[in-house]
Structures are given as structure tokens and as C-alpha cells.
Structure 1
Amino acid sequence: MSTTTPALLDCIEHETGPAPAWSVLWLHGLGADGHDFVPVVPEVLRPHWPAIRFVFPNAPVRAVTINNGVRMRAWYDIVDFDLANRADEDGVLESIAQIDALIAREAERGVPASRVILAGFSQGGAVTLAAGLRRSTPLAGLVGLSTYLPAARNAAAALVEGAARQPVFMAHGTQDPVVPLAAGRQSAAWLREAGFDVAWHEYPMPHSVCAEEIVDLGNWFDARFAAG
């Protein structure tokens, strides 16, 4: 992976108040864009929370192998339906570097990594978990929705000291046809064994987000803000 700082991704931003003290970076899924989770903001917000900057980056447009090479927004190429070989590891690392650049920008804007939460759905969640393993400066938390830990066979080698101090919220649909529930459970179990504090939730839904999940996520956010 290149050591040069990547160009900043185009982002949609929403600030809940002046001079945000916290930031939430939220990564969309395959073929979506930064607008995808903007409607979640008013649903998850609580009146007593500090001012938050929500940042919704747009993934680069790239060819996706399993979609016959059609170009779309993707955090990495999907090269196989088998989860063990699904993620293009170079693409994952490229996306991690781009997210790290956004986290560094938040620090420049007055929000240190300790008050940044990195969240993602599906492919965006996979990048979130992979990035979390490599964070020697821990974030306030990691959120992985309907997702899995990519390149799990190399995860132990990627794990850095201090990364397990990041609390994790993971949620998955029991009827998910895209990322099997078992893959989410296995990823959560691996993270727990590695020392992460993982809050795991399951809901009777497909590859999507539900109202109960947003309530549970809000409770988890609440605990992070209180701890911070």
C-alpha cells in the first residue's frame, strides 16, 4: 500500500450543532452512496447528545467483478461469492487509507480520534472492522451493520496493539441473503477472542436496517458519548 496520503473522498456532512465535539463517519454499502444513511440521523439522534458531525463519504467508482465488471461505488472489488475470498484485499487497504485520511481531517477540525465513531453497512462495515484492527490510536467505537470481517485468515497479523480498546456494535438480520448470519456471528466471535468488547444484535430482517436496530444503536452511541 502506498505511504502517500490519499486525496480526501467527497463527503456529505450534517452537523447537529455548532462546534461539533464528536464525529461519526458512516460508510455506505456496495452500489449506494453517501446519501444512503443520511435519513438515519434524525432517527438515531437524542436531545441530550453533544453536537455531532456526521460524515458520509462516497466510495470511489470501480469495476466489480461479481457484477460482470459493471462500475459502481464500491469500497473494494468483490471477486468471489465465497466470503473467505470475497474481498479484494488491496482495495480494502486502499479504502482504509482513505478513511484514515478523513479521521485525520477530523482531528484537524478539533475532533480527536478518541471522539470519532466509525460506522459502516455491509461492504462499508467490512472496511470499518478491517480499519479497526489496524488502529493503534483507538477510535471511540466501531459499528458494523450486516457485515463481516474481510480476509479473516489474515486478521490476526493485521491486529495492532491497542486496537482492542475500541468497543464494537454489530447487528445482523437473521434472514440476510447477502452476508450470511453465520459470517457475522463468526466475525463477532473472532473480535471477542481478540479482546474487543462486542455488542452483538440480531433482528428478523433481510440485508437491511430496522427500527429496533436504530434504537439499540442509539443506546450504544449514548454510552459512548457518556464515557467520552
Structure 2
Amino acid sequence: MEEDMVSFNSVSLFVVNLLYHEPNNVTIGLGGIGLGAAVALYYASSYTTGVVNINLQFIIGINGWLPAWRNLESITNHYGSTSFAPSLPILLTHGNSDNIVPFQVGNRSAEILRMAGFPVIFIENEGDHYPIIPQVIDDVRSWLTTYFPV
């Protein structure tokens, strides 16, 4: 699968510019569904290798994938876990009958992120790519409250 890295880099730069001036007391997380999840995960891999410097607290990806996963896998194989990875928790959920982003791609993305040192929770859900089922929303809410109790 060819990936449009110029666009991913462009969107990541847009995210950096959007979040750069947020005050230090603001909790910053990224998340998305499908392509939005891919952008968030790509941003996470850029963040942990020092390419971007916004202080993220979490990443959530629903039915997405890690773009340029071979690059992150190569960095991990050569240098071990990236320095910022352990400080960035990631929640990935994926429908087990997703016909747009196959479940195996989401699962493999979680494995690569774990190898890079990220604390990743991967949750398999019943269903397809869309619509997002209530169980996914409950999983996200539950996961968030473990890191950011209300």
C-alpha cells in the first residue's frame, strides 16, 4: 500500500501549528477514526522520535492504522525504544469485520507501536468500519478516565 507521506507530513505540521500555543495546563490528546486515527498515530511516531515537540498526553485511534510503520519499526530495531514513547499512552480499537482498514492492519499497528515502547491498549470490537458502536465509545470513555480521572 502506497502512503501519501507528503500529505501526512503536511497534516502533522498543521496539527503542530494548531496546538503549539496551548497553555501548559491544557491536556492535549489526538484521536480520530479511520484516516483521522492514521494521522494521530503518525503524529505520535513523529513526536516520539523528536520530529515534533508538542507535549501530548494521549492518542486514540479507532479503526485506523500506523502510516510509515516500516520507518518506526526500523528506528526501533536500530536504536531500541524511542525516548518519548513510554510517556504517551495509546488506545486503539478496531472492528473485527472492518472492510476498509482490515482488522489485521490495526492489530499489526498496535504491535509495532508496542515494540517502539508505547504503552498501547488494543481492543477488538464487533463490527465494521462505520458506524461506531456504543461499546467503542464506552471503551474510550473508560480508558480516558484511567489516565484522567474526573
Could you tell me the TM-score, scaled by structure 2's length? 0.84
Structure 1 residue 211 displacement after superposition: 0.3
Q: How many residues align?
A: 139
Please state which structure has a larger fraction of its residues in strand: 1
Instruction: Report if the CA contact (8 A) 1:147-1:179 is conserved.
Output: yes
Question: Which residue in the other structure is 1:172 paired with?
Answer: 94
Q: Which runs of 5+ in 2 are unaligned?
A: none
Instruction: Report if the CA contact (8 A) 1:134-1:163 is conserved.
Output: no
User: Equivalents in 2 of 1:176, 1:121: separation in Å?
Assistant: 12
Question: Which residue in the other structure is 2:63 paired with?
Answer: 146
Question: Which residue in the other structure is 1:163 paired with?
Answer: 85
User: Equivalents in 2 of 1:192, 1:155: separation in Å?
Assistant: 11
User: Equivalents in 2 of 1:189, 1:128: separation in Å?
Assistant: 16
Could you tell me the TM-score, scaled by structure 1's length? 0.57
Structure number with higher relative contact order (C-alpha < 8 Å, ≥ 6 residues apart): 2
Question: Which residue in the other structure is 2:18 paired with?
Answer: 102
Q: Deviations over 1:152-182 (max 9, x none)?
A: 1112449853133100000000110000000
Distance 1:187 1:147, change over 3 A: same
> What's the RMSD between the two structures over aligned residues?
2.0
Runs of 4+ more than 4 Å apart:
none
Q: Deviations over 1:130-172 (max 9, x none)?
A: 1011224541100011000011111244985313310000000
Instruction: Report if the CA contact (8 A) 1:169-1:198 is conserved.
Output: yes
